[in-house]
Amino acid sequence: MSFSLRTFCGSVKVEHVGRNVQLCGWVDAYRDHGGLIFIHLRDRSGIVQIVFNPEITPREICEKASSLRAEYCVSVEGAVKKRLAGAENPNIETGQVEVVVGRMTILAESDPLPFAISDKAMVAGAEKAGSESVSEELRLQYRYLDIRRPAMHNNLLLRHKIFQCVRRFLDERGFVEVETPVLTMSTPEGARDYLVPSRVHPGNFYALPQSPQLFKQLLMIGGLERYFQMARCFRDEDLRPNRQPEFTQLDLEASFIDEEFLYDLIEELTVQMFALGGISLSRPFPRMTYAEAMDTTGSDRPDLRFGLRFVDVTDVFADTNYSIFRQILKRGGCIKGINIKGQSEGLSKNVLQNEYAKEIAPSFGAKGMTWMRAEGGKLESNIVQFFSEAELAALWKRFDVQDGDVLIMVADPSYAIVTSALGQLRLHLANRLGLIPEDLFCPLWVTEFPLFEATEEGGVTSSHHPFTAPDRTDFDPKNAEELLGLRSRAYDLVMNGEELGGGSIRINSRDLQRKIFSALGLSEEDMREKFGFFLTAFDYGAPPHGGLALGMDRVVSMILKTPSIRDVIAFPKNRSAGCPLTGAPSVVKQEQLAELGLLNLGGKEVLPGAAEKENLLDRVSWVSRIGIDPAERSVMEEVLSQAEALAGIAGKEAGNEEPIRSVLPASHRTRPGLDAKRSELAETGKLLQSAPAVKGNYFKVASILE
């Protein structure tokens, strides 16, 4: 069969009336009117109605047509006719015409479907045939069917158009597309690497790139000057709706430029990409420093679609008689608040006190929340009597209060807790009260990030990556306090509370790069081992350069307004980083592991973790996941020895060969009192200082199954 004369279903229009056409596609919907059979035929371009009319269509073709079912793949030939008046279908673009079939070939049959694919009603006014209630796991398991759905199909087509827009835009501005290696060396970039064992080099591993960072900088040293790539990147991270273990980013780098060049370039590109989705963005994009973002929204990716900016009122209560605020301020704390304009009716006293103050605010890390409502020209709350008239008047003025407004305030000795808790309350309230406008897009540049962050060990780590240029070079790499005061020449593009991408001006001085590595605690040997090839390149005249990476899955998802980036990726992983379609990740044969030298990595050495289980103290430490300080070992070993001896005595007295598990009857134990109280050790962070791994504010333990 020849398909050379094929016409796409979605392209059949009124001007084709009277012509014979050949169509190929899938049966989208089926309707039998007593021998007169109507079918929606679907291909990548759209849907057209085909008709099997016993008065025109050969009998054997009509008999074949009666056996058709949803998703049968067919080829038909027939004449294009205009539909009768009143029979037009506005649900499809070809709704004014139909094709009367003269010939048909069934190319492939289909089994019953696990879920409905069609979403176009055959008759005007009828309900859609498809279902939006299909579980995502089922959709991912049969992703090839899910891609046939017009909604998913259109997502991938627009993704293609956006990618083509990027390539044309950058090509016109002198950028060269270069592919960088996927199998590379593991380097510290902030997230876990996916490792690939080498058969040729037993015991050694490649790493899949978290980004092409080093290679794109080497391309600048190589004189390419302007590079870009639609790069595949891999990060072994916990998943969220906007995160995948493998993703696509627009990676670009340019030489002899500064921040302004990149701001201008990316703004123009972003405007063009969003225009493909019918979204108009105005330029220039506003800018906000990291410090201002945290101080006024509690987030380094602030959502500017609504107000609710923080107001600092610490100075208002400098001489307050309210004991809670007074104690907090004596400990160097701060007080910030939000004015929720005109929402007094939506936030009753009961909601503010029993929901927000007692439950929601504490769940966000705050120890409490103060609220006030403006009524009759006064501020009212359950604690307003503890404040002076001067303090209440100052609050009214500082927050620009009007009747019907609601004030909420958070006070704490920790600035970070105040901004974090208030930032989460800001988002919670905006969503609850419907303060976020639909179809509004607010891009923003966040700049001047801290260059370093403090570690629990008293050192520092890079906030972005160790190749980001600092705002100044005259710093002492051994002075942690000074290092934490440095700002970086980094920038993030944020939109509607989502980080779309980020980058920085890079270091191009070999001495400065070594200085940054030294500040991170790397010795000369560490530098040679991890970055030797990179530092050597700096010996040959590295130009000033900088770049940026945009998460293209996030960008496309935002343009298409999908709830998850999985809806704009052809074959994504699920929330557990698994693939329901293929079953990956999966076990492999022992022979494959043996060939890669992974059955007993290290040869005669014990497997990882086994050594920790040989000594009794190490075994207890391993099982309980509690680190043992070297200075504590002798004392702990003596305690364990005594415990083991006592257990042996107890076991023998009970007539058991093995020690009994307990000599005491089981009973419930509770702390005295009824009031919940946070441990002082938790406040200072000492509670978890011996934990070998911490996740958030929790002690991280091993998986139940390893």
**Sign of the dihedral through C-alpha 492, 493, 494, 500:** negative
Please tell me the distance from the alpha carbon of residue 220 to that of residue 544, in angstroms, as a whole number: 9
**How confident is the model at residue 268, as a pLDDT?**
98
**Domains of the chain listed by start with CATH number:** 9-108 (2.40.50.140), 306-436 (3.30.1360.30), 446-548 (no CATH), 609-652+680-706 (no CATH)
- 459 φ, ψ to 5°? -95, -160
Q: Is 504 exposed, middle or buried (0-12, 13-18, 19+ CB in 10 A)?
A: buried
Low-confidence ranges of the chain (pLDDT < 70): 1, 124-132, 188-190, 239, 241, 601-614, 625, 650-674, 696, 702-706
Please tell me the distance from the alpha carbon of residue 235 to that of residue 193, in angstroms, as a whole number: 6
**How confident is the model at residue 197, as a pLDDT?**
93
**How confident is the model at residue 695, as a pLDDT?**
73
Please tell me the distance from the alpha carbon of residue 42 to that of residue 67, in angstroms, as a whole number: 18
**How confident is the model at residue 457, as a pLDDT?**
84
Residues in CB range of 642: below 8 A, 6 or more apart: none
**How confident is the model at residue 706, as a pLDDT?**
40
**Sign of the dihedral through C-alpha 131, 137, 138, 143:** positive
Q: Could you give the percent of the chain with pLDDT greater than 70? A: 91
Strands 443-447 and 498-505: unpaired
**How confident is the model at residue 649, as a pLDDT?**
76
**How confident is the model at residue 667, as a pLDDT?**
63
**How confident is the model at residue 512, as a pLDDT?**
95
Residue 55's alpha-carbon distances to 36, 48, 59, 62, 645, in angstroms, are: 9, 21, 9, 10, 98
Please tell me the distance from the alpha carbon of residue 216 to that of residue 226, in angstroms, as a whole number: 10
